[in-house]
Structures are given as C-alpha cells and as structure tokens.
C-alpha cells in the first residue's frame, strides 16, 4: 500500500511538472525536505535514509532557483499533489534548511499551507539554521539570488509582519551557536514556536548531524525538544 502511494505521488508529480529527486518507499506520513540557498536535494540523503529506516515517507524536493516566491509555489503544488493522492484530511510535515525555511514559511503564511482556521496542510514545520529575520550580508546580493534574505528588504518585511507562526501548524526552529553563517537572534520565530539551540554543529552539518536529527524527530512526534515560546 505504502509503496503504491509513493509511486502514485511520483507519477502525479511528473505529470504536473513538480520536480522530485527521490521518495522513500515506507511510512505512513510524508516529510518534505526543502534545501536552502544554492543547495541541492542530495544534501538531504543522510536524513532521508534515517527517516526511511524509521518507516517515515519523505520527499527530497527540487526548487527552481533562489526566488523564495517561486520556490513557495513549487512547495504548494507538491503538497497539493500529495494531499490529493492521500485523500481528505491529509497533511505533510516540512523540514527545511537555511533559506528553504523562508520559502516554506511563505507557503505556510500566504499560499494556504497553514490557514487561520481548519486543518493545516502543514502539520509540522521544522527549520534548520533558517535566517528567519535575515542576514545583513545578503543585502549586497541580487534580489532573486539571495537578496530576499536582507533584513531590511521587502520580502522579509512582509513575511515577518504580524504572526510568524499562523494557523494550527506546529513550528520548530533549530539553530546552532556554532552555525558560522546564521546568528542565533536571526533564527527566532515570533508568535509561538519551539526554540531548539544546539552547539558544535555548523550550518551545513545541521542536515546530517545525529543529535539534530533526534531533535527533528521529536518535533515531528509533537514533542518540543527545546523551549516552547508562547505568543
């Protein structure tokens, strides 16, 4: 049954032009793995293998480029495809690294992923080293090639206007004091989220570190593996 579900999702995504790198063949839930700035789906291979070993269905997602709005639209289309394949009331989890967390949150906030009422399409949102409040260095980059991460730019101004954590989605932000790229204050989420601080893990190792994976798994299982911040 689960292998057939994975095959159905893959076939439908190909028909509608939604790119997928690989889909694990086990599990009763679907986790979307969304990479960040100039990343690649291959960076998730180790995490996907760990999820597969636990019987968790996951999808490594290809993004069209570095424009968060376009990337959010691809995430929306993929989620819609998965939900249609699984039936009414289905939802997904999102684990996103770096800038991928911004694309995913744009989908949650503005493209229907986490509506103000009703069952959210995103059950759990987990970000790893996402600069939720931007990186000053990004202000020198072209808008569609990383510049949307500028703290004073229009993209983050709109994304961070009001509640960062809308709807009934469970939000978790995981960040490292040794990230090396994203400072701890930039990783915050206002409005109510689980804050998870780790040490000794650099920005890119957040995707493969075993301790971080354990925190991700706890978040996907409805347990805050850090400190719960209230609105």
For residue 89, is pLDDT > 60? yes
The 3-state DSSP composition of the chain as helix, strand, coil percent (nearest 5) reads: 40, 20, 40
- What residues contact residue 16 under an 8 Å CB cut-off, 6+ apart? 77, 81
DSSP string, 153-201: SHHHHHHTSS-SS-TTPEEEEEEETT-SSS-GGGG--TTSEEEEEE-S-
Q: Looking at residue 188, which CATH number applies to its domain? A: 3.40.50.1820
User: Considering only 46-50, 87-91, 164-168, 200-204, which range has the smallest mean pLDDT?
Assistant: 87-91
> Which of 36, 33, 229 is CA-nearest to residue 132?
36
pLDDT of residue 116: 87
Average pLDDT, the chain: 90
pTM comes to 0.89
What domain range includes position 175?
Answer: 2-229
Count of structural domains within the chain: 1
Q: Is the Cβ–Cβ distance between 165 and 193 less than 8 Å?
A: yes
The structure tokens 């700035």 sit at: 37
Residue 173 pLDDT class (50, 70, 90 cuts): very high
pLDDT-based confidence at 165, cuts 50/70/90? Answer: very high
């Amino acid at each position: 049954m689960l292998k057939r579900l994975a095959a159905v999702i893959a076939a439908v995504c190909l028909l509608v032009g939604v790119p997928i790198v690989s889909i694990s063949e086990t599990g009763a839930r679907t986790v979307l793995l969304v990479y960040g700035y100039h990343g690649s789906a291959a960076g998730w291979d180790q995490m996907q293998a760990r999820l597969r070993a636990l019987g968790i269905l996951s999808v490594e997602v290809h993004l069209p480029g570095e424009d968060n709005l376009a990337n959010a639209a691809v995430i929306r289309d993929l989620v819609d495809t998965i939900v249609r394949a699984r039936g009414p009331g289905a939802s997904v989890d999102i684990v996103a690294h770096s800038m991928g967390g911004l694309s995913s949150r744009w989908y949650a906030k503005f493209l229907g992923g986490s509506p103000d009422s009703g069952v959210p399409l995103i059950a759990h949102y987990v970000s790893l080293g996402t600069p939720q409040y931007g990186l000053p260095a990004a202000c020198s980059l072209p808008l569609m090639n990383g510049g949307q991460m500028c703290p004073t730019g229009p993209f983050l101004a709109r994304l961070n206007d009001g509640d960062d954590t809308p709807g009934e989605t469970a939000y978790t932000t995981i960040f490292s004091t040794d990230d090396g790229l994203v400072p701890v204050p930039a990783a915050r989420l206002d409005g109510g989220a689980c804050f998870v601080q780790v040490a000794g893990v650099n920005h890119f190792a957040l995707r493969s570190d075993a301790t971080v994976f354990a925190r991700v798994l706890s978040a996907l299982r409805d347990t805050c593996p850090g400190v719960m911040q209230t609105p």
